[in-house]
Structure 1
Amino acid sequence: MATAKPLYDRLKKNITAYSPEEAREMAFMLLDHYFGLRKTDVLTDKPLPPNRTEPDWFKILERLNRQEPIQHVIGTTIFCGLEFEVSPDVLIPRPETEDLVRLIMHDFADRTDDVPIVDIGTGSGCIAITLSRFLPQSVVTGWDVSEEALELARHNAQSLNADVTFAIQDILNVPADFAHRFDCVVSNPPYVTRSEAAEMDRNVLDYEPGLALFVEDNDPLVFYKAVADFCVRHLTKDGACYVEINERFGDATRQVFADRGFSRIQVYKDIHGKDRSIRATF
């Protein structure tokens, strides 16, 4: 009877493009995705499912060793406990963004009336859909400039039974007659400068959309200025704006909001102690 541990060891040994620790985690992810085996199942060498359909391990290992993200190889990722489909058309949701979503959920947990929320640059829909699922009082809209991203976000919303309205909209060109107001404006906009690309890993540079990643070095805060300007017109008096930020520009991004009349601006650090998000209110 085939068991989990020998397959795990073989996969781990043959994922050679990453460190041993990363290869170990990828092998666990593969066994979880294809056979529903958790880490404890693997480490206790449980039998593989007798009616399993074996994937093409050679092709999977080949893709991983080209540094294609494992999330693209298996087609999904977990974000705040929910499984999202991903593709090269959207950024792969990351743990730092989970922290931003948890902050919003904490801040609005006690609200009993409707909470209108807009997620600017929604991508896979991970922020919008998670807020819709875990804040029942939320009325969520997701914007993006990419039709391909919006198609995937709508698919994820349907799969996860989330009521989110998605629309194509560029935050740099919001119509002057737009009249809606929101209690929560959230965005994880492009914030990596072109000059930082040289320091990035291939699995990001080669496989994730530059449209969602990069800004020009001569105006790295262009999207934060646009979001803050939008908030001046469309954030309710007691509402809050939440943005993920580039660790290099924490103080400068804070100043963007201060210049536009926000009176309380908090910069939050990630688990590595780097500036990673901002919460701003009037």
Structure 2
Amino acid sequence: MTSARQLYQYIVKGITVYPEKEAQAITFMLLEHYMRLRNIDVLVDRPIPENSAQPDWTGIISRLNNNEPVQHIIGSTEFCGLEFRVSSSVLIPRPETEELVRMVTRDYAEPDKNISILDIGTGSGCIAIVLARFLPHVSVHAWDVSDEALEVAKENARQLIADVTFAKQDMLDVTFPLPGNAIQFDCLVSNPPYVTISEAEHMRPNVLRFEPHEALFVEDSDPLLFYKAIADLGVHHLKINGKCYVEINEHFGAETKQVFDERNYKDVEILRDIHGKDRFIRAIWR
């Protein structure tokens, strides 16, 4: 291929496991990452110098057709305008989670002293790191139960120059009060596992085969398990009028709200995402 358009067309045609529009979007990601070619370069059919180093496109296309996520192939993804390293040890950040982060940044945009936020189940660190970058006046802490996930999160924090305090902690095995003089937080935020096992059959192979199940799935017998743990944590370690923000399963909005209502949170709201689905709960501790 001697031009950007020829290369673009070759890759799009080779990707057979995705609808055409998704194949096109994936191709633009690949061209940007490997060749520094932008959409406009394809549009104007920019020539590619003969001596340009190119990856093994055949191998990359084969990996894509084996349902390996493009983010794993290039090793990173964009979230809230920042580039995050990802691997099979962490979930690939989703656009809906960007909305969750925007809610928190809006509510804590005004500088205030001694504001502390805890991100529960941090994964790649995307939530905690963006909050630390966008809210420099806030003290950000982040937990995860996975050593591998924490390694990825810490590396992302180093690369993005974000001041986050990471700790290994299972949210389902918290002893109250927490060690360290019973830390009190102003805000809890979490995108916990919420997909039920029975919903797995409707999920794409690129998610099922390549993303960590422990960060995705919860048993059908107790689909609100993690929300109960988060709400209980808030009871013990949220300051008065502290806020809790969680991403939720769209099929359990009312039930998740009830978890917080039963624990005497106030102003418990179900909020919708950009697709109009019940996707978030925001609650205030009394």
TM-score (norm 2): 0.96
Which residue does the alignment assign to 1:204? 207
Q: Does the aligned pair in 1 maintain the 2:4–2:48 contact within 8 Å? A: yes
Which residue does the alignment assign to 1:257? 260
User: What is the distance in 1 between the residues matched to 2:119 and 2:7?
Assistant: 41
Q: Does the aligned pair in 2 maintain the 1:232–1:260 contact within 8 Å? A: yes
Please tell me whether residue 111 in structure 1 is matched to residue 115 in structure 2. no
Superposed counterparts of 1:39-188, under 5 Å: 39-48=39-48, 52-178=52-178, 179-188=182-191
User: What is the distance in 2 between the residues matched to 1:161 and 1:171?
Assistant: 26
Aligned length: 282
Displacement, 1:42? 1.9
String of CA shifts for 1:152-197, please: whole Å, max 9, x gaps: 1000000100011111001111122311111110000000011111
Displacement, 1:37? 2.0
Residue of 206, 229, 233 corresponding to 2:232: 229
The residue type equivalent to 2:273 in the other structure is: D
Displacement, 1:112? 2.9
% identity of equivalent residues: 59
Q: Does the aligned pair in 2 maintain the 1:79–1:126 contact within 8 Å? A: yes
User: What is the distance in 2 between the residues matched to 1:258 and 1:166?
Assistant: 30
Task: Classify 1:96/1:7 alpha carbon distance in 2 versus 1 (closer, same or farther; 3 Å).
Answer: same
Displacement, 1:35? 1.7
Which residue does the alignment assign to 1:244? 247
Which residue does the alignment assign to 1:13? 13
TM-score (norm 1): 0.97
* Secondary structure, aligned partner of 2:215: helix
Which residue does the alignment assign to 1:32? 32
* Secondary structure, aligned partner of 2:140: strand
User: What is the distance in 2 between the residues matched to 1:223 and 1:51?
Assistant: 53
User: What is the distance in 2 between the residues matched to 1:134 and 1:97?
Assistant: 15
The residue type equivalent to 2:185 in the other structure is: F
Which residue does the alignment assign to 1:195? 198
Residue of 272, 279, 284 corresponding to 1:276: 279
Q: Does the aligned pair in 2 maintain the 1:5–1:43 contact within 8 Å? A: yes
Q: Does the aligned pair in 2 maintain the 1:35–1:48 contact within 8 Å? A: no
Displacement, 1:48? 3.3
Q: Give structure 1 regions of 4+ aligned residues with deviation exceeding 2 angstroms.
A: 46-53
Worse-matched range after superposition: 270-279 or 33-42: 33-42
* Secondary structure, aligned partner of 1:219: coil
The residue type equivalent to 1:55 in the other structure is: P
Task: Classify 1:143/1:50 alpha carbon distance in 2 versus 1 (closer, same or farther; 3 Å).
Answer: farther
Displacement, 1:50? 6.7
* Secondary structure, aligned partner of 2:172: helix
Displacement, 1:107? 0.6
Q: Does the aligned pair in 1 maintain the 2:177–2:236 contact within 8 Å? A: no
List gaps (5 residues or longer) in structure 1.
Answer: none
List gaps (5 residues or longer) in structure 2.
Answer: none
Q: Does the aligned pair in 1 maintain the 2:147–2:168 contact within 8 Å? A: yes
Worse-matched range after superposition: 172-181 or 124-133: 172-181
User: What is the distance in 1 between the residues matched to 2:95 and 2:146?
Assistant: 23
User: What is the distance in 2 between the residues matched to 1:128 and 1:199?
Assistant: 30
Q: CA RMSD in A?
A: 1.3
Displacement, 1:143? 0.3
User: What is the distance in 2 between the residues matched to 1:205 and 1:265?
Assistant: 32
User: What is the distance in 2 between the residues matched to 1:13 and 1:198?
Assistant: 28
The residue type equivalent to 1:177 in the other structure is: P
